[in-house]
Chain A
Amino acid sequence: MRLKAILTPIVAVLVFLSLWEALVWIMGWPNYKMASPSDLVPAYIRYWNLFLVMGWQTLWRTVAGLLLAIVVGTALGMVMGFSRTMRDALYPLLVGFNAIPKATVVPIIALMFVGYHDVNTVLIAFMISFFPIAVSISIGLSTLEPEYRDILRSLGASQSTIFWKIALPKTLPEFFGALKVAVTLAFIGTNLMEIVSPHGRGLGALFDSGKTNADYPLMFAVLIALAFLGIVLYYVVVALEKVFAGWAERTPT
């Protein structure tokens, strides 16, 4: 059973890669139009150390942005979840901020912190990903049935006890739902910045250099590497969710 759960996705990936290879081969596309998986192998072999260094750059900055988003998003969510006034005040601002396409913010931030590549990358990853976290926490807290509060409050429990014992654990499933979205968004943010910044680093920059040098297999190789990192991050969140909010999972009957 366990083996099957691991093998199924691997087989699916292999099938996908063969179909891709076959498609390129049948259509006779040159590799500046569409590289095939077999073109990627030489690209990985040639640049493997770049992939490791740049991949690490992208990974840590995404995670740093995400951690910042978790801290700030949770704080904002708590403020909005506990106070109606703050919710009324902050919600329109946040929605407006979120509605701005981040592609337009990237060059602004890039200029604002020109020369501080790490700062502007982490910042954009944060800006793009804190919104779903803030919203999920605030909704989780504000929709907490009053009886849950009353059970502890009638015993004289403090607000912070109620938060730690009930409100926080109860919002964890929603929080992890939002975190899965945020991971993907943060990743997009990091890459946008890496591509746009002059003298950028990270996988985005590697992609950009592939573009300038017309090294198409390299560009595709970066895409696959990004997909791989994205999958890894996503499943890290899924694993954390299992540990901390596994109780919310209903076994289908």
Chain B
Amino acid sequence: MTNLIEIRDVRHSYQTQSGPLPVLDGLNVTVPTGGFCAVVGPSGCGKSTLTRLIAGLMKPDQGEVWLHGERVTGPRNTVGMAFQNPVLLEWRTILQNVVLPLEIVPTKLSRKQQEDRARYLLALVGLSGFEDKRPSELSGGMRQRASLCRALVHQPEVLILDEPFGALDAFTREDLWQTMHRVKEKEPFTGVLITHDLRESIFLADQVIVLSGRPARTQFVLDVPDTGPRDLDHLYTAQAAEMLHVLRHQIEIAQGRAAA
């Protein structure tokens, strides 16, 4: 199997008033094609920085980021992103919001086909009938679904999710987890998910990476065994409890609250 994403020994610092702030220090991540990698770590350790490096929005001071066998030197339109803040454009309808990336990325689709694709994705995440609504008319969970459709509309190879469900209530979040599985089945992508929720990480991902506190390095990698289609009951098995326990302990180490 080829690795779609390869991050090799990346180091990065931000320039601040009080001198350089090292954020990433010796980060290694590999995600195979079609894989789904969750990244957890203490707050402020550099997770969002990692997503910006993968998206090519920034260049690392040292080390290399490779996507699909090519070195990342700038933004590329084979990436889709969604954030905790759904950042929908209020002056556009939901449908127009989802179509937005197709206005940037070169595409052979006609306007009609673009809209059909957007409609199809909206239906997939359960937003049929809301195409012509404005973002302000939707609930937080629905906006996040629309934001997900926008990230997928141009069929990106890599889907980068930076705490997309972080601001949602627990039930809406679990709903969206299941939606994610449904979407991944129909619209295959290679995923990187930043999250603070350990249950989310083992429910969605097949690999969980724990970052150390700032400056972040890869501290621990957990492989989530492939158990076929997952439903929420999987979170209440002994196996899940064991994984959560291991991750919890690793987070405490990363926070400096437990010895390695």
Q: List residues of chain A with CB under 8 Å of any chain B CB.
A: 145, 147-148, 150-157, 161, 165-166, 169-170, 172, 245, 247-248, 250
Chain B 115-140: CB-based contact to A (< 8 A → 1; otherwise 0): 00000000000000000001010000
Judge whether B91 and A151 touch: CB under 8 Å.
no
Of B81-89, B224-232, B239-247, the one touching chain A:
B81-89
Closest to B85 in A: A147
The answer to the question of B104 belonging to the interface, with a C-beta cut-off of 8 Å to chain A, is yes
How far is it, in angstroms, between the C-alpha of A96 and the C-alpha of B103 when the chains are bound?
43
B57 contacts A148, C-beta separation under 8 Å: no
A161 near B136: Cβ-Cβ < 8 Å = no
Residues of B within 8 A of A (CB): 52, 55-57, 74-77, 79, 81, 83, 85, 87, 89-91, 100-101, 103-105, 134, 136, 150, 154
CA–CA, A157 to B150, complex, Å?
15
Closest B residue by C-beta to A247: B91
A155 near B87 with CB under 8 A, answer no
Q: Chain B contact residues: over half helix, strand or loop, or mixed? A: loop
| Chain B residues whose CB sits within 8 angstroms of the CB of A170 once the complex forms | 89, 91
The 4 closest A-B pairs by CB, nearest first: A247-B91, A154-B55, A155-B104, A147-B87
A169 to chain B, nearest CB (A): 5
A residues within 8 A CB of B90? Answer: 247-248
Most B Cβ at <10 Å: residue of A150, A152, A248? A150
A165 near B103 with CB under 8 A, answer: yes
Selected from A147, A155, A247, A248, the residue in CB contact (under 8 A) with B75 is A155
CB–CB A156/B104 < 8 A: yes
Q: List 30 A-B contacts (CB under 8 A).
A: A145-B85, A147-B83, A147-B85, A148-B87, A148-B89, A150-B57, A150-B81, A151-B150, A152-B104, A153-B57, A153-B75, A154-B55, A154-B56, A154-B57, A154-B79, A155-B75, A155-B77, A155-B104, A155-B105, A156-B76, A156-B104, A156-B105, A157-B104, A161-B104, A165-B100, A166-B89, A170-B89, A170-B91, A247-B90, A247-B134
**Residue ID in chain B nearest A162 by CB atoms:** B104
Q: Let me know if B81 and A154 touch, CB within 8 A.
A: yes
Q: Bound state CA distance, A156 and B90, in angstroms?
A: 22
Q: Are A145 and B104 in contact (CB under 8 A)?
A: no
Q: How far is the CB of B157 from chain A (nearest CB, A)?
A: 13
Measured CB to CB, the closest approach of chain B to A80, in angstroms, equals: 21
